[in-house]
């Protein structure tokens, strides 16, 4: 099963509701998968869809490449990938300060953090433009 972030939240809420009340009856969904498939078919047959698709096919050729970051070894030489997840938590005070700074710049905290991430990538990258 593949879901997006919003659907994951819905599924988690419903799962927790079922744990709390195993007899719970959820309402019938307003749409079926068939409805989705038919709507997508209509969308794909629309002239505007074709125009948008053409635009992005041309645009993708002009996009900057991925950041060229320093590597310990060439990725193709790795037979068994190993990943390490690193995370940090902000204190309540730090989070409040970040939200206040974001508000001053009229952006969301998420935009502020993504901008910081892109600045770190730029610092380590071998090129100034990247996607």
List the chain domain ranges: 30-63, 65-70+89-131
Tokens 């659907």 found at: 7
As a whole number of angstroms, the distance between CA 2 and CA 33 comes to 14
CB contact at 8 A, 118 and 60: no
b/e map of 19-35 (b: 16 or more CB within 10 Å)?
eeeeeeeeeeeeeeeee
Per DSSP, 102 falls in state H
Whether the CB-CB separation of 33 and 97 falls below 8 Å is answered with no
Tokens of 16: 């927790």
Residue 1: band (very low, low, confident or very high) from pLDDT cuts 50, 70, 90: low
d(CA 125, CA 131): 11
To the nearest 10°, the Cα dihedral for 58, 61, 62, 66?
Answer: 140
From 52, 63, 57, 45, select the one nearest 129 (Cα to Cα). 63
* Chain segment 96-128, per-residue pLDDT in tens: 999 999 999 999 999 999 999 999 999 999 888
pLDDT of residue 107: 97
DSSP secondary-structure letter at 45? T
Determine the pLDDT at residue 106: 97
pTM for this predicted structure? 0.59
**Taking a C-beta distance cutoff of 8 angstroms, is the pair 130, 63 a contact?**
no
């Amino acid at each position: 099963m593949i879901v997006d972030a919003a659907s994951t939240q819905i599924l988690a809420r419903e799962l927790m509701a079922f744990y709390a009340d195993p007899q719970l009856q959820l309402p019938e969904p307003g749409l079926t998968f068939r409805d989705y498939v038919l709507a997508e078919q209509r969308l794909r047959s629309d002239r505007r869809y074709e125009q948008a698709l053409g635009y992005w096919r041309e645009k993708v050729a002009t996009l900057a490449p991925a950041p060229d970051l320093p590597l310990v070894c060439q990725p193709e030489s790795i037979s068994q990938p190993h990943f390490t997840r690193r995370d940090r938590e902000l204190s309540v005070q730090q989070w409040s300060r970040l939200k206040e700074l974001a508000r001053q710049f009229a952006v969301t905290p998420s935009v502020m953090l993504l901008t910081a991430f892109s600045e770190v990538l730029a610092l380590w990258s071998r090129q100034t433009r990247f996607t």
